[in-house]
Amino acid sequence: MIYMPIPKPQSFSCYIYTTPYPSNFTTTTGTAGRKLKMHMPANTLLPQYLFPILFLLLVSWPAGHADHQRHPFACDPSNAAVKDLPFCKVKLPIAERVRDLLSRLTLKEKVGLLVDNATAVPRLGMLGYEWWSEALHGVSNVGPGTRFGGDFPGATAFPQVITTAASFNASLWEEIGRVVSDEARAMYNGGMAGLTYWSPNVNIFRDPRWGRGQETPGEDPIVAGEYAARYVRGLQGNLPGDRLKVAACCKHYTAYDLDNWSGVDRFHFNAKVSKQEMKDTFEVPFRECVMQGKVASVMCSYNQVNGIPTCADPRLLRDTIRGAWGLNGYIVSDCDSVGVLFDNQHYTATPEEAAADAIKAGLDLDCGPFLGIHTQGAMDRGLLKETDVDSALVNSLTVEMRLGMFDGSGDDVFGKLGPRDVCTRSNQELALEAARQGIVLLKNHGPSLPLSQRRHRSVAVIGPNSDVTVTMIGNYAGIACGYTTPLQGMGRYTRTIHHRGCSNVNCKNAHLFGDAIAAARQADATVLVMGLDQSIEAEFKDRDGLLLPGYQQELVTKVAAASKGPTILVVMSGGPVDVSFAEHDPKVSSILWVGYPGQAGGTAIADVLFGTHNPGGKLPMTWYKQDYLSKVPMTTMDMRSNEATGYPGRTYRFYKGPLLVYPFGHGLSYSNFIHTLATAPAIFTVPVDGRHRNTTTTTTNNAIRVTHAKCGGLSLGLQVDVKNTGSKDGSHTLLVYSTPPVGHWGPHKQLVAFAKVHVPARTQLRVPINIHVCKFLSVVDRSGVRRIPMGQHSLHIGDIKHLLSIQSTPLGVIKS
């Protein structure tokens, strides 16, 4: 999909492909697709409304099989020509099987396997395969590898990732991944999906305007890294012997968090990132995804980093992802990004050079036709060797074999999953529970929540998002099993009086306000469900500001002023919204943020409003005031503040200014939780590897290089008592922050541990906390070196402050 300014009149080609290919498709250099050609005038945009049309053409194209049964695996036992070849023998090591298969492929066949719609090799029993499927928060039909219909009309639509991240519940994240992969495997068995899912998105939500921030776990690299590892483990199955249930993919590597802002788009953006910011922020989630989650794939992004396209940078792909982190899997491009680095960024003089640069940098698979078209030419010109192509295919074919795609019969532990395993009652209950846990109570004056079915016999339900369905599942979603809208959810508790007030979230006029105001005057309570949708924030669409769109703010203020009972503002959005007007308005008694809460969002919202569920979510990103934006261009990648230039810094880690609506980690409850630090060391000793004790490079400003410390198992243990003094059982998120010693290059504070605990009313729970010292109590210096500062660290847990002195072993510190 392309969305870009065209600098001069030119013809533009777009390929649409399906697998298997319709008989009227043509093949060009191993790439099958129907080519749409159109003329684009100078300085125009391909309208965004065309994308759904093109996509519908893709997904509705008649498939090659009507019974929706899974194609036979490669190495089908009924195929006498291949069943006894070494690559089909499941008892052989996978590396040996891959070598055998590669030795049998012709160069033309190899080139046809470098693209997402990999071509068939009938003589070896290999069918065509579409690599591109998505499962960001449920099985999705965004990619051409998955479609709905027949026995699979939909799949469980969990809350958008930013909402689930607000639960701060790592076990929930993994469980969602497990359920999503169950449904993915079931659909694969039914011939409706693939086994390679290009999810999750673990980019840092650096700027509040980013349209895709909703897809991410938020602004904190530690949270994003833990989310990545846990969701990937759930998807991939944690199987013995290196096997995979499905293959996940962490994307988009790296420093990608701008789509289309102020004339700059992701296809042309060069992210200028210091070594310090790269190591300290942007790399962290991907490192955790590879090293802890054991992800089977990483996707490189469209943008350049410091002048080099990420998909052609060997330092990023070959040296870091595969070398330093040890990726056991394949590296794939974002869709058509190899073409983008040639056609849009003009990084190389010829397409053959672009193909060669990408493959030699470490790219294994191209989402798009570019490598299928230009790799042979690159080899003819001596820019690539066949061994370079082999190196790429080793990684992708190995993943297919780990998935069991060359195991013949397919009688594996997941082979019996089918339609009955999709949209099950338990799966949908998990989606509801995820929505409940992700709702954040931002304000509760009085308190006015929870509402009472006895006292609030009627509720005015107002707002453009008050009766929505698809809006609740955000982007990169599929077709939900079913929906409960906010209006329907509240209708299960009390009588509702419904008037939208605005016809949609753009809220361009106020002519519908009268009925909404009248409803508020007569109801016992008023709930306004406002916010955003994909017309305001989305892929290709970054926001211009942080205020509620159009006349929404005026609607809230007027309705609140007229309301007979308490007025509750419910904000449905992916990114933060400046609702400071409502925070300071005494007539708006309570505010909830619900993100995009998934198919069961209406039930979850009503359960929180009426107290069936006690809210426990916390914001995974900072909510800024509108004025903050004037100080931070989206194109400035710096996280740290700069007093000399007036740059204020980004995220809770580096911004300390006054332009906040709500801070990261903010979230109230219907209960009151008190923390007491039961046990914590006052001094902690870091052992230094003996080989480095007398090396001046070990320390700088009394900070030890992490690589010189003995980090294995080096954890700091705390015990925290959490007491629920309220009358309602509740879940509580325990957030542990650290502030490093003064004078170092670290953040103002950094989350170093978090835990989700359930505490019954009027009881106390002791919570053990383990902090990995090398990972979480370290900072990154200006040269990009991670170090552990010696001296006094300050740990913060709620209102508790604990001072911790970190020292090294004798002779371990040589001051310089």
CA distance 218 to 164: 10
Q: Which two tokens stand for residue 282?
A: 């942007």
Nearest by Cα to 339 from 2, 698, 650: 2
Spatial distance between the Cα atoms of 213 and 534, rounded to a whole number of angstroms: 12
Instruction: List, edge to edge, every strand of the sheet that includes 779-780.
Output: 703-705, 786-789, 779-780
Burial of 292 (0-12, 13-18, 19+ CB in 10 A): middle
Buried b (16+ CB within 10 A) or exposed e, 667-677: bbbbbebebeb
Identify the residue whose tokens are 């959810």: 489
DSSP secondary structure letters along 289-346: HHHTT--SEEEE-SSEETTEEGGG-TIIIIIIIIIIS---SEEEESTTHHHHHHHTT-
DSSP secondary structure letter of residue 638 = -
- Tokens representing 474? 């955000």
What is the per-residue burial (b if ≥16 Cβ within 10 Å, else e) of 22-33? eeeeeeebbbbb
- Our answer to whether residue 627 is catalytic in this structure is no
Whole-angstrom Cα Rg for the chain: 27
Give the C-alpha separation, 542 to 383, whole Å: 38
Take residue 216 and report the two structure tokens written for it: 């991410």
CA distance 494 to 457: 6
Residue type, 592: L
Q: How far apart are CA 3 and CA 159, in angstroms?
A: 27
- CA dist 296 and 321 (Å) reads 11
- Residues 809, 814: Cα–Cα separation, whole Å: 11
Rounded distance between C-alpha atoms, residue 179 and residue 600, angstroms: 16
The dihedrals phi and psi of 660, each to the nearest 5 degrees, come to -115, 145
- Determine which helix (DSSP H) or strand (DSSP E) holds 775, and give its type and residue range: helix 773-776
Of the candidates 422, 418, 411, the residue with the CA atom closest to the CA atom of residue 190 = 418
Token match 């053409």: residue? 57
CB atoms within 10 A of CB 37: 8
Alpha helix (H) ranges present in 690-814? Answer: 773-776
Beta partners for residue 793, in sequence order: 804
**Residue of 334, 364, 366, 533 with catalytic role:** 334
**Cα atoms in the 13 Å half-sphere on the side-chain side of 129:** 24
Taking CA 169 as the corner, what is the angle to CA 654 and CA 292, rounded to the nearest 5 degrees? Answer: 75
| Cα 554 to Cα 552: distance, rounded to the nearest angstrom | 5
Q: Give how far Cα 587 sits from Cα of 547, 625, 771, Å.
A: 19, 20, 43
Vertex 265 angle, CA 52 and 543, to 5°: 75
- Between CA 167 and CA 211 the distance in angstroms is 21
Euclidean distance between CA atoms 658 and 410, whole angstroms: 59
110 CA to centre of own chain: 32
528-566 burial: b if 16+ Cβ within 10 Å, else e: bbbbbbbebbbbbbbbeebbbbbbbbbbbbbbbebbebb
C-beta separation of 204 from 254 below 8 A: no
- Bridge partner list, 443: 591
- Report d(CA 746, CA 280) in Å as an integer: 9
Please give the Cα distance from 516 to 462 (Å, whole number): 6
The catalytic residues are: 334
